[in-house]
Chain A
Amino acid sequence: MSGRTLGPETEDLEDLFENAPCGYASALPNGRISKVNHTLSTWLGYASGDLVGRRFLDLLTIAGKVYYETHFAPLLRIKGFFHEVALDLLKADGTVLPVLVNAVVRKDGDGSARFIRITVFNASERRRYERQLRDLNQALEARVAERTRALHRAWRLSPDLLVVADTEGCLRSVNAAWAGLLGREAPDLIGRSVFDFTHPEDVAATKAAFAGIVTAPLVTPHEFRLRHADGSYRRFSWTGAFEDGEVYATGRHTTAEHEQAAALARAEEALRQSQKLEAVGQLTGGVAHDFNNLLTIIRSSVDFLRRPDLPEERRRRYMDAVSDTVDRAAKLTGQLLAFARRQALNPEAFDVGERLRSVGEMLDTVTGARIRVVAEIPDAPCRVRADVSQFETALVNMAVNARDAMDGQGVLTLRLERAGTLPPIRGHAAAPGPFASVSLTDTGGGIAPEQIDRIFEPFFTTKEIGKGTGLGLSQVFGFAKQSGGDVAVESEVGRGTTFRLYLPMLQGGAGEEPVPECKDEGFPTGDGQRVLVVEDNIEVGRFATQILEDFGYRTTWSANAEDALETLGDDGAGFDVVFSDVMMPGMGGIALARILRSRMPGLPVLLASGYSHVLAQDGAGGFEVLHKPYSADQLGRILGRMAPRRS
């Protein structure tokens, strides 16, 4: 070349070949370099002549050699070219030059390879950003993997049931909690419907609860039962959301909560009952005392009545005294029984004033003779909704507290007022009313300021051992709070204490109206109707048959329900009415009444009861009940209504 003079075009092409911004090399079919441009030689740190005759392969790193021989040389042979292969070229100084290599086989007329044209691009920059891109990608993947691991860990370790399902409830993915809580492994669950394991009674409600999840997440937990692999059911409280075509839901195991709640309810019930028994215990002493007084009146009246020479006027007075005293005694025992009976917490609407009047006498028995009870109860009705039995218990507890505070002597003022608002009490904000305010004010020693915060704590008592359990005022507090009210206490040492029980008043005419008393229905005489008297007590039985005979009935007396059934036979044996005691050995009066109602629906049954826990729990089952002690007059009127005169 050097001996010739080059034309401008050739010179230009020569310059382009030598100094283009990419490397050019030609190699013979055996891979040895035959020509290389200035750019490539310079990049690699060689003089152009140094490279001619060397194998292109020799410019590669060991990995490049292996890959060239195993990947790119075959490609070149099969296709005749390869493009943009990333390789590292070894420079003269031992460092490497990252390059992209294109190669094409140039062939002669009969198809044999003449030479290989190799084009080399400096890829230093490109390789650098490729590496950055790759590092970035790896860092990103690592972060995603870390996040995924964290999420997976949360999924795996969650104590709650986690699930991905379709909108039909078909399970797509479940976490390990399913195995722990329901004994079911993922393979047994995936692809099956959650309703396969749902309690049949809960299916409809659960479908309804999840029906709207596509449009709005289920935020309010929906609870339903799932069947454990052992066949038992567990309760779970579910929330969930719909996203990307799938339902994601979380189920919190609540069986234990329910058991705890039930245990708590039982404990509360037991506490209520013991609080009530505490009050009954307090009452019993007073009632016994009053009862003895009443019995004394009866006893002495009877003694007088035995005198043969008693004037008629005196006789009637004693008879009236006996009758009145029996009424009072009956009322007293009735109240005590009503008070003591076990019953579920049952809020109902009632008039506070009316209730206060009716238990006022009972409070008298609690406080004893030396304490004067002054009641200030307005006539206007003041209705609240609360549990009546708890209300009465609270009154007794407050009265007992007042009695003890007064050491058995003083004045107890019972007052009913309407309060526009509930004042702030013990840090609680005021609440809008109106409230019924029932206050009991005593003239006792008052409560020491350091104790006033503790008096409502259960088992807190200042009384001697055996005198009080410390449950009384805690019952008052619990009742007030449960009923939406509160209890306030004001006390001045040496002057006295006022407990004020606030209960939210019912507005307007809400609640039941008082039922008007039935009118009397004429004079109680019989007309020879046949009455079967069932009574195990000989005295009462004899007395009852005597009264009924006097009223004009014909009576037959059976000593128990079984005998009565035999007497009645299959057709009632001509009896017009059955009058039966409730508490008897054997099946008892209520069972008898039920049998008769099914066998002989036309035969009326009248039950007589002093107190029966069966009646208290289940009610009278729709039968007429005459409460003992009854008067002859009451018996006559009821029978007159139940067994009409034949004429």
Chain B
Amino acid sequence: MVFAHGFGCDQNMWRFVAPAFEDRYRTVLFDHIGAGGSDPAAFDAVRYAVLDGYADDVVAICRAVSVTGGVFVGHSVSAMIGILAYKKAPELFESLILICPSPRYLDDTDYVGGFSAAQVEELLDFLDDNQIGWSQAMAPAIMAHADRPELGEELTDSFCRMDPAIAKRFARTTFLSDNRADLADVQARCLVIQCAEDILAPAEVGAYMHRHLPNSTLAILDTTGHCPNLSAPKETIAAIEAFL
């Protein structure tokens, strides 16, 4: 069972879910490039400008640890990365667990992604200006001699570490991606886990996923936010177990 984290966090986000499957599965957890303990020096702007680059990494990781016929659990953008990886190497996975997935964040004709063009533009502008990212990057420097030096450490060495420069590019890649066309010929069994109230992946997106994945089940969890694996781990585990 391979767990892939989404944008903004690292493999720590599976801490409440992955242990529940360790008795029956060999669990594989990893950090995407730029996140957690990965080597930022390995980042290649061209390779990772599209989600395919991340999908190639998933395939390589799975092959390195000899995964075949496994279960892929992907959160957020990693749900789509998992679908792409499956299409590159179908022998890897029998089942895909897609938590809060979205094939496209930007609204389109007859498609609700949750973000208007103006909003995506604002988000991209923000990525360029990056007030939050900057504050985080500067935090250790600003607070190094403050009364509470642990704060700087917390922001940089937290459970959700991400290289700010790579995070920025990852966000751009994520929010500009459109993988709707990749859904149709996915033959693996798919579970789409949708939160009741999620601004990043609204209910319409979950329904769309379910409708376009030929062999899929939709589970709607009564929880808010974008991370049911953290906000509602028990329900998430239950939904996965029920599916498997």
B and A form one assembly: yes
Residues of A within 8 A of B (CB): 30-31, 55, 57, 61-67, 69-71, 73-75, 77-79, 82-88, 98, 127, 130, 134
Residues of B within 8 A of A (CB): 6-9, 12-13, 15, 76, 115, 119, 122-123, 126-127, 131-132, 134-136, 138-139, 151, 154-155, 158-160, 162, 171, 197-200, 223-227, 230-231
Say which residue of A67, A83, A127 sits within 8 Å of B151 (CB atoms).
A83
Min C-beta distance of B49 to chain A, whole Å: 19
Measured CA separation A134–B128 after assembly (Å): 13
Are A61 and B122 closer than 8 Å at their CB atoms? yes
Measured CA separation A55–B198 after assembly (Å): 12
Q: Interface residues of A: mostly helix, strand, loop or mixed?
A: helix
Which residue of chain A lies nearest to B127 when distances are taken between CB atoms in the complex? A63
Q: Which residues on the A side are within 8 Å of B162 (C-beta)?
A: 71
Measured CA separation A71–B161 after assembly (Å): 9
A30-B224, A65-B199, A130-B138 known; A70-B9 Cβ under 8 A: yes
A62-B115, A84-B139 known; A74-B9 Cβ under 8 A: yes
Which residue of chain B lies nearest to A113 when distances are taken between CB atoms in the complex? B231
Are B122 and A70 closer than 8 Å at their CB atoms? no
Say which residue of A30, A79, A127 sits within 8 Å of B131 (CB atoms).
A127
Q: Which residues on the A side are within 8 Å of B151 (C-beta)?
A: 83-84
A83-B151, A86-B132, A130-B134 known; A74-B160 Cβ under 8 A: yes
Measured CA separation A86–B138 after assembly (Å): 11
Min C-beta distance of A474 to chain B, whole Å: 71
Total A-B pairs in contact (CB under 8 Å)? 92
A70-B76, A74-B160, A83-B154 known; A130-B119 Cβ under 8 A: no
Are A69 and B226 closer than 8 Å at their CB atoms? yes
Q: Which residues on the B side are within 8 Å of A78 (C-beta)?
A: 12-13, 15, 159-160, 230
Which residue of chain B lies nearest to A77 when distances are taken between CB atoms in the complex? B230
Q: Which residues on the B side are within 8 Å of A67 (C-beta)?
A: 8, 132
Min C-beta distance of A138 to chain B, whole Å: 11
Are A88 and B131 closer than 8 Å at their CB atoms? yes
A70-B6, A70-B9, A78-B13 known; A86-B224 Cβ under 8 A: no
Are A75 and B159 closer than 8 Å at their CB atoms? yes
Min C-beta distance of B140 to chain A, whole Å: 12
Q: Which residues on the B side are within 8 Å of A63 (C-beta)?
A: 122-123, 126-127, 132
Min C-beta distance of B166 to chain A, whole Å: 14
Q: Which residues on the B side are within 8 Å of A82 (C-beta)?
A: 154
Measured CA separation A78–B227 after assembly (Å): 11
22 A/B residue pairs, CB under 8 Å, sorted by A: A31-B225, A63-B122, A63-B126, A63-B127, A69-B198, A69-B200, A69-B225, A70-B6, A73-B226, A73-B227, A73-B230, A74-B230, A75-B159, A75-B160, A77-B230, A77-B231, A78-B12, A78-B159, A78-B230, A86-B131, A86-B132, A98-B131
What 4 A-B pairs have minimum CB-CB distances, sorted nearest first? A70-B8, A63-B126, A77-B230, A86-B135
Are B132 and A87 closer than 8 Å at their CB atoms? yes
